[in-house]
Amino acid sequence: MLTRVKSAVASLMGGMMTADAEHFGGGGGSDLPLRFPYGRPEFLGLSPDEVECSADHVARPILILKESSRLPWATGYAEVINAGKSSLNEDQACCEVMAVKPRPTGSATPNQTSAARRRSSLPNGEGLGLRDNLDSSEGVTFHYWALFDGHAGSGAAVVASRLLHHHIARHLQEVVDVLRNPALLPPTCLGEEPVNNHHHHHHHHLTPTSQRALTRAASLRGAAGAPGSPSTPPVRFFTEKKVSHESLVVGAIENAFKDMDSQIGKEKMIYNISGGCTALVVIFLLGKLYVGNAGDSRAVIIRAGEVIPVSREFTPESERQRLQFLAYMQPYLLGNDFTHLEFPRRVQRKEVGKKMLYRDFTMSGWAYKTMENEDLKFPLVFGEGKKARVLATIGVTRGLGDHDLKVHDSNIYIKPFLSCFPEVKVYPLAQCDHDADDVLVLGTDGLWDVLSNQEVAEAVTCFLANCDPDDQHRYTMAAQDLVMRARGVLRDRGWRISDDRLGSGDDISVYIIPLMHGNRET
């Protein structure tokens, strides 16, 4: 165990950015077939030769969306591979316009799982989006942008980039009929009939379900409780939480992430799906932007040059209390090697019996306690900033995959500490005025590690101001400029950016999504 912790600490201090496949298994050497071949995002339209050239860790060419190919809303995109920390670019991206049709009722077969049809990707997604609105009597369309940042292999990121939007479409299909009726609150129970359609005996033998149906019908008529009626149960039975349409979309996104994660877990039995990945998704549906984040990518809106953060990062530091509480409740998850308490540094044997600073899951501040032998174990959460790790292994605490990731040379699984659930924030885009220079920037941590929100906002605002406002390629050029500013240029002692700071050695992927289009399309 001592050796194991020493080697874990060595890699911690060595500044390794993430766990990699050689050290943590879970992919390398698998005899199973790949679920999907490795590649770069479909919308880049790269040839196999170009994919190979893109993996040049020395030249680090910045790939951009070709002028001939277009994403919805003239979205811009650019990416670059890392400086050698993994042989492949473990970032992945996906952008689609999806149509969600209501599931046929009555004759539908139970195993009919073909959810929404993919309506369009390339080229001219925008034009199709317009046409979709015309036949929207049948359903709804949503726009989808996603970034995935893989670790310990590219498998999970590739699979998630190919499949997550289908899970989202399937879950939205469940609620599409409700969403298309914004005037009505979502019914608590689907398939409820208006009260006057019920058979006579329902009025005499109220089941809990038909009671709710009554409530529903009564509240729709604006007469909840119907005080004078002798057959009406007391009002307290009618208490029902009102659920918004918006939260149905949030729930659909959350459950889609859960299904994607368990699909990866199951398919690992028959396919080689290496590693895990973070996921940042943006969905535009019925006038609103939904930003779902599980991991350390980031989304910010830049409006009139000002930054509006629309996501939060999930890291060992930001999720320390959740992780510590889990370990406190289920200590066997730590094996015999870790303690759920946090200390500012490792406790030394000679310090047992002395008072030292610590904090538990109940604390955001620090306090002193007398050290015991138990406190000599390695802390569950250890390290600061980009070097913070859970179980000395992983620097991100939410995402998809990682089902077989273990602490180096042990039988301690990391997965129980990782959450696959995104935090979803909602931005009412159609209600806000935006001009052509207002954008939503999505970036993997490779961008945000070296550039602050403010630096990104200034760079983008300045770049767009100097572009022809009618040039639809301007958002891709702005994305290329951002990736360049984060990667820097190669000097004798490595990649350097402005003020001689170190450039990002990580994979960097950036979308720049103009927001004025959201005002027109709903």
Binding interface with Mg ion (CB under 5 A): 149, 444-446, 506
| Least separation in angstroms between CB 385 and Mg ion | 14
The residue among 192 and 313 lying less far from Mg ion, judged by its C-beta, is 313
Cα–Cα distance for residue pair 207/504, rounded to 1 Å: 62
The residue among 62 and 74 lying less far from Mg ion, judged by its C-beta, is 62
The residue among 429 and 450 lying less far from Mg ion, judged by its C-beta, is 450
One-letter amino acid at 156 equals A
The residue among 375 and 445 lying less far from Mg ion, judged by its C-beta, is 445
Residue 78 DSSP code: E
| Least separation in angstroms between CB 477 and Mg ion | 23
The residue among 446 and 488 lying less far from Mg ion, judged by its C-beta, is 446
Q: 243, 252, 245: which is closest to 98 by C-alpha?
A: 252
Cα–Cα distance for residue pair 172/246, rounded to 1 Å: 11
| Least separation in angstroms between CB 17 and Mg ion | 7
Residue that is written with structure tokens 């008072």 in the block: 355
The residue among 211 and 453 lying less far from Mg ion, judged by its C-beta, is 453
| Least separation in angstroms between CB 88 and Mg ion | 13
The residue among 215 and 444 lying less far from Mg ion, judged by its C-beta, is 444
The residue among 449 and 481 lying less far from Mg ion, judged by its C-beta, is 449
| Least separation in angstroms between CB 63 and Mg ion | 16
One-letter amino acid at 489 equals V
Q: 146, 149, 159, 171: which is closest to 253 by C-alpha?
A: 171
Listing DSSP states for 227-246 in one string gives TT-TTPPPGGGG------HH
Q: 242, 308, 244, 253: which is closest to 284 by C-alpha?
A: 253
| Least separation in angstroms between CB 445 and Mg ion | 4
Cα–Cα distance for residue pair 445/504, rounded to 1 Å: 9
Cα–Cα distance for residue pair 463/471, rounded to 1 Å: 13
SS3 string of 103-163? CCCCCCCCCCCCCCCEEECCCCHHHHHHHHHHCHHHCEEEEEEEEEEEECCCHHHHHHHHH
| Least separation in angstroms between CB 443 and Mg ion | 10
| Least separation in angstroms between CB 15 and Mg ion | 14
Residue 35 Rama label (left phi>0; alpha psi -120 to 50; beta): alpha
The residue among 334 and 486 lying less far from Mg ion, judged by its C-beta, is 486
SS3 string of 83-105? CCCCCCCCEEEEEEEEEECCCCC
Q: How would you classify the pairing of strands 494-496 and 489-491?
A: antiparallel
| Least separation in angstroms between CB 276 and Mg ion | 12
